Amino acid sequence: MELEDLRAAQADERRSEKLQELPDSFYEDAADYIESLREKRDACDDPYSEEAQRLNDELNSARQVAEAVYERRVGKVVKMASLSANGHTATEERMTREERDMYERIVDEIRAGQEHVEGLLEGALRDDGDEGETIGATEARNAAGSAQVTQESADDESGEDGYATVRVVESLPDFVGTDGREYSLGEEDVARIPEENARALCEKEAAVEVKKNA
């Protein structure tokens, strides 16, 4: 591995929101390369010589670029793990060994956290049910019915399910909507996306809402 290999990997990761192909041993190769530079620098008789300074500069650059590549990729891995933990499709195909291990641990932690919270909420609901039909329970049930009617009315006014149809007027980077889904939209694409995301895109003049015919 050379410094230019690291810089090429950094450029590829910057150009795309998706993981780029890297050798499975990328981080190990980068570590070996950096260590070899350190050994060569330390072997110089004069630490202030031109060669020692050149090696030191290359060492610092290599370390900075390798860390930048890792930081860029780990953000993508975390995003993919979050999607996977919530039932969306994600592939480990372009991950290195270290990234696959990280990805699997993050998915497991997210799912464990979800199960813990769901267990707490289910326990609270069971405790509430064991108390029988009380005034509070009746009020809660009535409130739930009112909320459902209110939601149905809101859906009639702003979209059948909280989504809006938009036409994209410029290519957009991939993004995760408020519904947890990943969207990949190009110029002139027409798609139904969460209303909150639709409003944001329209405000930025990156999309226009497609109104239903009356």
118-177 pLDDT tens trace: 888 888 777 666 554 444 444 544 444 443 433 344 344 444 568 889 888 888 888 888
3-33 pLDDT tens trace: 999 999 999 999 999 999 999 999 999 999 9
Residue ranges of domains in the chain, CATH in brackets: 3-108 (1.20.58.1030), 163-209 (3.40.5.50)
pTM of the model: 0.55
CA 12/CA 69 separation, integer angstroms? 9
Q: What is the pLDDT of residue 186?
A: 84
Give CA separation, 175 vs 5, 182, 194, 196, 201, in Å: 29, 6, 12, 13, 11
Q: What is the pLDDT of residue 157?
A: 41
- Please tell me the least confidently modeled range out of 57-61, 97-101, 205-209: 205-209
CA 123/CA 113 separation, integer angstroms? 15
CA 205/CA 190 separation, integer angstroms? 15
Which has the closest alpha carbon to 101: 113, 90, 92, 110? Answer: 92
Q: Phi and psi (nearest 5°) for 190?
A: -115, 125
Helix, strand, coil percentages for the chain (3-state, nearest 5):
65, 10, 30
Q: What is the pLDDT of residue 155?
A: 42
